[in-house]
Amino acid sequence: MQDNTLIVVGVDGSDGGRRALRWAVEEAIRCGGAVEAVTAWQWDGYEGALMAATNPAAERARAETLLANEVAAVTAELGSPVPIACEVVEGRPGKVLAAAATRAHLLVVGSHGHGRLRHALVGSVAEECIRDAACPVTVVPVPHPVTERPIATAAPAS
Of residues 140 and 157, which shows the higher confidence score? 140
**CATH code of the domain in which 24 resides:** 3.40.50.620
Q: How many domains does the chain contain in total?
A: 1
Percent of the chain with pLDDT over 90: 64
Which of 1-5, 53-57, 70-74, 153-157 shows the highest mean pLDDT? 70-74
Q: Which domain holds residue 113?
A: 1-33+95-144
* 81-96: average pLDDT: 94
The reported pLDDT for the residue numbered 122 is: 52
Residue 113 in domain:
yes
Residue 84 pLDDT greater than 80, yes or no: yes
What's the pLDDT tens digit per position in 94-145?
999 999 999 999 999 998 755 444 444 456 899 999 999 999 999 999 776 6
Structure pTM?
0.80
Beta-strand relationship, 34-41 and 6-10: parallel
**Best CA proximity match to 11, nearest among 78, 120, 88:** 88
The reported pLDDT for the residue numbered 146 is: 67
> By the 8 A CB rule, do 38 and 96 touch?
yes
Residue 55 in domain:
no
Query: Which strands, in side-by-side order, build the sheet including 137-140?
Result: 84-90, 34-41, 6-10, 106-110, 137-140
Residue 79 in domain:
no
The reported pLDDT for the residue numbered 1 is: 39
What's the pLDDT tens digit per position in 15-38?
999 999 999 999 999 999 999 999
Residue 112 in domain:
yes
What's the pLDDT tens digit per position in 41-68?
998 765 554 545 578 999 999 999 999 9
Residue 84 in domain:
no
Residue 9 pLDDT greater than 80, yes or no: yes
The reported pLDDT for the residue numbered 157 is: 66
Residue 68 in domain:
no
Beta-strand relationship, 106-110 and 84-90: unpaired
Q: Please, what sign has the CA dihedral across residues 123, 41, 96, 5?
A: negative
